[in-house]
Structure 1
Amino acid sequence: MVDLVVRSRRVVTPEGERAAAVLVAEGRITAVLPYDADAGAAEDVDLGDTALLPGLVDTHVHVNEPGRTEWEGFATATRAAAAGGVTTIVDMPLNSLPPTVTGEALKIKQVAATGQCHVDVGFWGGAIPGNAADLPGLHAAGVFGFKAFLADSGVPEFPPVDADQLATAMNAVDALFVVHAEDPDHLRDAASSPAYADFLASRPEGAEHAAVATAIAVARAAGRRVHILHLSAATALPLIAQARAEGVRVTAETCPHYLTLDAAGIPDGATEFKCCPPIRDTANADRLWEALADGLITCVVSDHSPCTPDLKRQDTGDFAAAWGGIASVQLGLPVIWTAARDRGHTLADVVKWMARRPADLVGLRNKGRITPGADADLVAFEPDTEFVVDAHALHHKNPVTPYAGKRLRGVVRTTWLRGRTVTGDRAGGKFLSIDEEN
């Protein structure tokens, strides 16, 4: 019995874009047939020329609940994700209170999230000084791996690790480690200033370069997988390429803001653009695009990291005092599609970067692809429709975004999670675990 068929002349499959009918039963894709196939489904949706994409997978989202729910929460973050075509998120272990650094903290977070998730949710654990003994239990409880900072995280309850502490953590558990790679010895205290150039100078490319080298060296010695989070500095790309050529299991991601925003265009006092590592110049972004196209950078994720408007210090425009984080989980798809199309890339490229490869990173083989056996996470997407970003129309909790007023291309019309339309009224998401059968 087929519950649903969704037809489109532009279905993006792992083999490319084609006209097809996608059949769904009991939440899974059962077949991908010719566009006009007789499916006998209870519900038959014909999208015509509207594209059908797999649900995106965003492995870098800060939900912040519990503890800092005024910044963001599971209900608002996952509603925003679904509105942006994201059907799976993996939540970072900070900035919630408590951070997800013990098994008990994971349970507390899951209790807080229960009944609130509009998309499927997985969890990262955290590696901090002194918690190596907790990591095997956390991994057994289903976290997808462990995040570590090599520089100050911005919150005192999640301190950074040095190279020796990272090695201790890696040797404690055979898991994926995802690393915020900035070297504190290369960072400078930012002077109070509304000038973005002053903030940018405090976090130079050399800080990322040195920290990527440290993460790779530790992973090589421990024989572990390491993933470089939110890569901003293109100067670190040769280090990653060389390490991979030598057999080190290292991957890297970047974010929409590093690919599409330009340091030279950030106005004085526009603290909504502050993030760490920082947005750099257009030449740097060009090199990130090249690395993405050739597979050196494997995926694009949001690093959705919102806060309350007062913490952005928009009253003073002081970059040094403002919280560093960009809220973009709802906008990643149109932001990247707008820029990718102008650079000659296809929807299939965007799906590879934002759906299939992030799913593969964390071992979710039934996510991020339109193929028989995969979860029926689907997105109806109008790639040629333009819109202007209205921050107050976004679903994340606090309407602050550097994309406000920007004209983008690509509108999500419908999102299905395991074959059911996500309306924002019914929280139908489930928790995902690394030990699931995928």
Structure 2
Amino acid sequence: MPTGESDGAAGSSFDLVVAGARVLVAGAFTPAEVGVRDGRVAAIEPLGAGLAGERMARLGDDEVLLPGLVDTHVHVNEPGRTEWEGFRTATRAAAAGGVTSIVDMPLNSIPPTVSVAALEEKRRAAAAAGLAVDVGFWGGIVPGGLRELRPLAADGVFGFKCFLVDSGVPEFPPVTAAELEAAMAVLAELGLPVIVHAEDAGVIGEAPHPHSRRYADFLASRPDAAERTAVEHVIEAARRTGAHAHILHLASAEALPPIAAARREGVRITAETCPHYLALTSEDVPDGATAYKCCPPIRDAANRDALWRGLEDGTIDLVVSDHSPAPASMKLAGGGDFAEAWGGIASLQLGLPVVWTEARRRGIPLERVVEWMATAPARTLGVPAKGEIVVGGAADLVAFAPDAEWRVDAARLEHRHPITPYDGRTVAGAVRGVWLAGAALDSTAPTGRLLRAG
């Protein structure tokens, strides 16, 4: 049982009580006891209040209690490409990393989630696999798919993803500017966000694309201008339609000024970035190290610093993984040729310690990291019951030791393939225990549920 959970008194007022000297409540750590009943937080009282539960857990002296993280950018790939990743392995990795809710991206699975039939097939696959954490779904926007938006929205997707550049898989093609705007007009009516892989196909098409083991050559093939140009197009479409546009995996700090300006004007635009853009730099990528390949790419240290400033000033809203694993035959294809290897970072289990390690180095408190990785993603999804420890909220809780340091061993991670650019890195922060709806997570008896919007 995590964090010293033990049996309490039969007939107690709560199913579970977790007590500790540092519990994150209303954005600050405080000594508290959290009482859980029927999967929700039923009481938060000062430490020493004496809440009684059928199960009792006391945090260790080096532990804090956090809300479960919410990761809105995960490529599970099942069905169709389960050999890349699947619901069982992905949700086990999430749980091990303190992530209690994920939202699955609509591409890389076959079929992609661009119709109600495909969504239902994905839900059946998830239920059959067994879920360690809660799972929701994004729908997809592809050419000719406008008529599918309303049925998918009615069936509970949280919003719709599209690409402005080649997605890497033929069954999920990019949309034109006109198709994007037409979809956004529908989504403005539905009150759902459009989430956009914002790289401009024209800019990327004009860049050099050599076969090369040099990371600098790959970086030049996905220039900053591709992100900024695409973001500016999305902003204009959001301004005209009134839709909520969300920029996925922002890697280039050059896109921050137009986002900030648009928000000041009242345009409904939000943005996310990812742990790899906040912790890694292009200067540190060895030649041929295709485990680091992702699109948009990891950029230089000055860019990384600017992304952190964007988080701190609120231009970037949240931090999510963009977990996108692949087998070694794809991820290491071409013997280190960046043009041949699959682009995607496997990091679902590592996001919290990776981001916290870098935040701590910069003097940024853990409370802010949790806001970016739990509260803000839940708010973006429209699920206020998650992402905070609050009376009436979901009892998704994480016991976390912020000062515990450990060395990442890719072979010991829960995702399907032992490949990650963090292999061998020392990080701070260890997940010691996780509760989902008040139940201690047990990978042998998965209790995750399927989430629906609305």
Place the TM-score, normalised by the shorter chain, in its bin. Answer: over 0.9
Corresponding residue SS for 2:211: coil
In the TM superposition, 1:140-159 aligns within 5 A as: 140-159=154-173
Please state how far the C-alpha of 1:43 moved relative to its aligned partner. Answer: 1.0
Per-residue CA distance 1:345-379 (angstroms, 9 max, x = gap): 11111110000000000001000100100100000
Identity value in percent: 57
SS at 1:128 equivalent: coil
Which residue, 138, 142, 158 being the options, matches 1:124? 138
| Partner of residue 193, structure 2 | 176
Corresponding residue SS for 2:227: helix
Q: Output one character per residue of 1:77-125: Cα deviation in whole Å (capped at 9) or x when no partner.
A: 0000000000000000011000000111000000000041110001000
Aligned to 1:299: 318
Q: Do the aligned partners of 1:13 and 1:348 also contact (CA within 8 Å) in 2? A: no
1:143-168 Cα deviation digits (max 9, x unpaired): 00000100000000000011101011
Residue 43 of structure 1 corresponds to: 55
Aligned length: 435
Query: Deviation of residue 14 (structure 1)?
Result: 2.1
**Helix, strand or coil: the match of 1:3?**
strand
The equivalent position to 1:15 in structure 2, one of 27, 45, 64, is 27
Give 2:400's aligned residue: 381
How far, CA to CA, are the matches of 1:190 and 1:348 in structure 2?
Answer: 42
Tell me by how many angstroms 1:15 deviates: 3.4
- Residue 100 of structure 1 is matched in structure 2 by 113
State the match for 1:345 in structure 2. Answer: 364
2:255 to 233, 236, 241: 236
The one-character-per-residue Cα deviations of 1:173-200 (angstroms, maximum 9, x if unpaired) are: 3320000000011113521111000000
Give the TM-score of the pair, scaled to structure 1: 0.98
Q: Which residue of 2 aligns with 1:4?
A: 16
| Aligned equivalent of 1:69 | 82
Give the match's secondary structure for 1:242.
helix
Contact 1:72 1:397 (8 Å CA) reproduced = yes
* Kept after mapping to 2: 8 A contact 1:12/1:347: no
CA RMSD in angstroms comes to 0.9
Aligned pair in 2 of structure 1 residues 315, 155: CA closer, same or farther (>3 Å)?
closer
Q: Following the alignment from structure 2 to structure 1, what is the Cα–Cα distance between the partners of residues 328 and 24?
A: 38
In 1, Cα distance between the equivalents of 2:442 and 2:175? Answer: 41
The one-letter code matched in structure 1 to 2:184 is M
Shift of 1:315: 5.8
Kindly indicate whether the alpha-carbon contact (under 8 Å) linking 1:269 and 1:314 is maintained by their aligned counterparts in 2: no
Trace 1:210-221 onto structure 2 (pairs within 5 A).
210-221=229-240
Residue 88 (structure 1) aligned with residue 88 (structure 2): no
TM-score, length basis structure 2: 0.95
More moved, 275-284 vs 167-176: 167-176
SS at match of 1:89: strand
Q: Which runs of 4+ in 1 moved over 3 A?
A: none
Query: CA shift at 1:314, angstroms?
Result: 5.2
44-53 vs 208-217, greater mean Cα deviation: 44-53
Pair 1:31-2:13 in alignment: no
Q: Residue type matched to 1:65 in 2? A: E
Q: Secondary structure at the match of 1:21?
A: strand
Say if 2:72 is the partner of 1:59.
yes
1:223-262 to structure 2, matched below 5 A, reads 223-262=242-281
Partner SS for 1:364? coil
Instruction: Give distance in 1, aligned partners of 2:54 and 2:330.
Output: 49
Question: Which residue identity is paired with 2:175?
Answer: V
Matched, 1:112 2:129: no
Q: 2: CA distance between counterparts of 1:15 and 1:202? A: 41
Is residue 291–residue 332 contact of structure 2 (8 Å, CA) maintained in 1? no
- Give runs of aligned pairs for residues 152-167 of structure 1, distance below 5 A: 152-167=166-181
- 2:217 counterpart of 1:198: yes
Residue equivalent to 2:3: none
Q: Measure the CA separation in 1 of the matches of 2:212 and 2:358.
A: 31
**Structure 1 unmatched ranges of 5 or more:** none
Structure 1 match to 2:448 = 429
1:313 Cα deviation from its structure 2 partner: 2.4
Q: Which residue of 1 aligns with 2:342?
A: 323
Residue 171 of structure 1: CA displacement?
A: 1.9
Matched, 1:265 2:279: no
Mean alpha-carbon deviation: is it higher for 188-197 or for 285-294?
188-197
Query: 5+ residue gaps in structure 2?
Result: 1-12
2:419 to 400, 407, 420: 400
The one-letter code matched in structure 2 to 1:407 is T
- Give the Å deviation of 1:384: 0.6
In the alignment, does 2:199 pair up with 1:186? Answer: no
